[in-house]
A and B are shown apart, each in its own frame.
Chain A
Amino acid sequence: MLNNLRHRQLPKGLKETNLIVILSFLVLLMIGTIIFATGMGPVSVHTTTVLQILISKIPFLSNPVGNDWTQVEESIVVGLRLPRVLLGLIVGASLSVTGVALQALVRNHLADPFILGVSSGASATATLGMLFGTFSFLGTYSLSLSAFIGAVVVIVLVYALSRVNGKINMTQLLLSGVAIGLIMESITKLITLSAPNALGLHNATFWMAGSLAGAKWGYLTLPLLVMFLCMTILLLNYRALNALLAGDETAGTLGFNVNVIQTMLVLIASLLAGVTIAVSGSIGFVGLMIPHITRLLIGSDHKKVLPVSAFLGGILVVWTDVAARLIIAPEELPIGVLTAIFGGPFFIWLLKKNARK
C-alpha cells in the first residue's frame, strides 16, 4: 500500500502521458511551424500577414480579414513558401517513418535510408530514368517509381547480405549498407558522366543535392497519399512491429507471420523512401535521428512512435529548411548538407552508446 502511494506521487513522465495529449500538442506545434516558417526566407513576410493570407484562402472565412497585403507577398506565401513548407512536413514525416520501418525490419536503432544505402539506390535509378528515360513507360510518376525500384533493390540486397544464421548482424548490416551505397553512388556518377544532354544533367545534379527549393503544389499529392497509405498500414500492424523488436522467433510465437510482415516492411520502406527522394533528393539522417529522439521521449511502442515521429520529423525538416534558406541568403544551402552536418555526429554518438551496452 505504502509502495503504491509512493509510486502515485512520482511526477508522470512523457511516457505515461496520454497519446491524444501528445498528438494535440504536436498538431499545434505543426500549425505554428507552418505559420512562422512560411514567413521566413530571403524575402521575409510578417507573420500576421502570412496568417491573414492563409485565412483568406480558407473558404467562408475570407470576409472578416482585411486585404492589406501586396500581390508579391501573396504569391511568395501561396506560390512558393507554403508548398515548400508542406512538402517539408511530408518529406520529414515520410523519412522518419521510413526509419522506423527499417529499424523494425533489421531490429536495430542504426538503420536509416541514408546509412543503409537506400537513398543512393533510389538516386541511381532515378537519375537513370531522368537522363535516359529508361522508365518513361511508367508515365507521370516515372521518377517516383524509378526511385522506388532502386530502393527495393538496395533494401533486399542489404537485408540478405546482413542476415547471418537467420539473424541480422549489425556489423554486416552497416558495412553492406555502406558498400552498396558507394556502389550505387558510383553508378550514379557513371550515369551522369555519360548523360546525352546537358539540360537533363543540370536538372539531375540540382535534384540530387537534396533540396526542397523546387517545391510546387503539384509535387504534394503523391507523397501525401503514399505517406497516409503507408502510415495506415503500419499503424494497423503496430503490434506486429512491437513483436518484431522482440525477435523473429518471438514474433512468430505471438501469432505473427514474420515473413509476410517483413516483406510488407521492405515494400513500405522502399515506397516511402523512393517517393520522398523523387521529390526532394536525398536528405540524410532524419530517419535516424527522429525515431531515436521519439523513443527517448515516449518509449518504443509503435502505436505512439509512428505518429509522434512523423510529426517531429516534419517539423524538424521544415525548420532545417528555413535555416538552409537563411544561413547564406540570398543563396541557398542544400538541406541535405545541413542534416548531414548534424546527423553525422548524432550517428557516431549512437554508435558509441550502442557499443557501451
Chain B
Amino acid sequence: MKLQVENLNFSYNHHKILNDISLHVNNGEFVGIIGPNGSGKSTLLKNLYRALTPDSGSIYLDHENYRDLKIKDIAKKLGVIGQDNGVPFDFAVNEIVAMGRSPHKKLFEGDKKEDKEIIQNALNTVGMADMAERNYLYLSGGEKQRVLLARVLSQQTEFLVLDEPTNHLDIHHQLRIFDVIKGLGATVLSAIHDLNIASLYCDRIYVMKDGSIYKSGTPEEILTSENIKEVFNIKTDVRQHPVTKKAMITYLPESTFNKGEDIVV
C-alpha cells in the first residue's frame, strides 16, 4: 500500500490552512507528522480520509486517484482513528469493534462466524477481550482508545491514518498502543504529539509549520535542537539514547537559563 499526495491545498472560510502539501508513504513505512498546534496536521489528515475535500491537488492510493475510488473501496484500504470519538449512545465494546466490518458488508448482511473471529482477534490484539461485553461509555480513556484501535484492526486495512491516537493517555498506554500498531507491520501515517514517541517509532517524519511541510527525513535528521527550536520555539537537549539508539529529546525550561549559568547544549 502506497500513499502519494501531490500539491494539496485547502482553505476554510477563505483562510488558507494547507499550502501546497506533497508527501508520500511507502509500503510498510511508519511515517509521523509533527508540528505545533494549529500547524494543520489534523486538517491534512482529514483531507486524506475524506472528511474534508481539498481545493486542489491529488491523492493517490496505490496509484489510483481518490476521485476514481468509491467511499466504500477507500474504507477497505484505509483505516482511520480521528480525534472526535465520542459515542453518545450505549454500545458494547464488541459492537463498536463490529462497526469496523462495515465496508466489507452488503446491505443488511449480519456478522458471520468469520467476522466474529476477526472481531475477537482484534480485541485480543489490543488486550480488551475480557471487556467485550462492557459498555463503551464507561471505559477509561486508554481503554476507549484501544477499542477504537480494535475497530480499525477489524476493518482489515493495510493502511492506517491516525490523528494523535494517544492524546490524553498516560505513558503506559501511549507505549502500549504504539507497540501494537508497530507490531502490525501495516503502513502507517500518524500525527504524533510527543517528539520522543515520534523518535521511537517513526521510520520517517514530516514536520508541519503554518500549513506547509517545513522539513522531512529520518528521525535523526529531523529531531535536532535547531529544527525543534525553529518549529516549536523551545530549547531542547537532543542525544542518542544508549539503549534505543534513537534520538532522545529533553525539554529545557526557561527557568534553567534564567539562573545565569552557562549551559552548553
Residues of A within 8 A of B (CB): 3, 7, 15-16, 107-109, 235-240, 242-243, 245-250, 252-257, 295-296, 299-301, 303, 357
Contact status A255-B72, CB under 8 Å: yes
Closest CB in chain A relative to B259 CB, distance in Å: 45
Taking a contact as CB atoms closer than 8 A, the residue among A235, A239, A249, A257 that contacts B102 in the complex is A239
In the complex, which residue of chain A has the Cβ closest to the Cβ of B96?
A246
**Chain B window 103-135, contacts with chain A (Cβ cutoff 8 Å), 1 for yes, 0 for no:** 101011010000000000000000000100100
- B89 near A109: Cβ-Cβ < 8 Å: yes
**Contact assessment for B99 and A243 in the assembled complex, using a CB-CB cutoff below 8 Å:** yes
What residues of B have a CB within 8 angstroms of the CB of A243 in the complex? 99, 102
Contact (Cβ within 8 A) A254 B103: yes
Q: Are B102 and A254 in contact (CB under 8 A)?
A: yes
Interface of A is mostly: helix
| Nearest CB of A to B262, in Å | 49
B49 touches A253 (CB 8 A): yes
Q: Is B2's CB within 8 Å of the partner chain A?
A: no
- In whole Å, how far is A298's beta carbon from the nearest beta carbon of chain B? 10
Q: How far is the CA of A234 from the CA of B62 in the complex (A)?
A: 35
Could you tell me which B residues sit within 8 Å of A by CB distance? 46, 49-51, 71-76, 78-80, 82, 84-92, 95-96, 99-100, 102-103, 105, 107-108, 110, 130, 133, 137, 155
- Check B71–A255 contact: CB distance below 8 A: yes
Instruction: Decide: B95 and A249 in contact? CB cutoff 8 A.
Output: no
Of B71, B73, B88, which is within 8 A of A107 by CB? Answer: B88
19 A-B pairs (CB sep. < 8 Å): A238-B108, A240-B102, A246-B87, A247-B82, A247-B85, A247-B87, A249-B49, A250-B84, A252-B71, A253-B79, A254-B75, A254-B103, A255-B74, A255-B76, A256-B72, A295-B90, A300-B95, A303-B110, A357-B137
Given known pairs A249-B82, A255-B76, A257-B71, the reply for A15 and B99 (CB within 8 Å) is no
Contact A254 B100 (CB under 8 A): yes
Q: Which of A108, A246, A296 has the most CB of B within 10 A?
A: A246
Known A243-B102, A255-B71; judge A249-B84 contact (CB<8 A): yes
Q: In the complex, what distance in Å separates the CA atom of A300 from the CA atom of B108?
A: 16
How far apart are B81's CB and chain A's nearest CB, in angstroms? 9
Q: Are A245 and B89 in contact (CB under 8 A)?
A: yes
How distant is the Cα of A257 from the Cα of B69 in the complex, in angstroms? 13
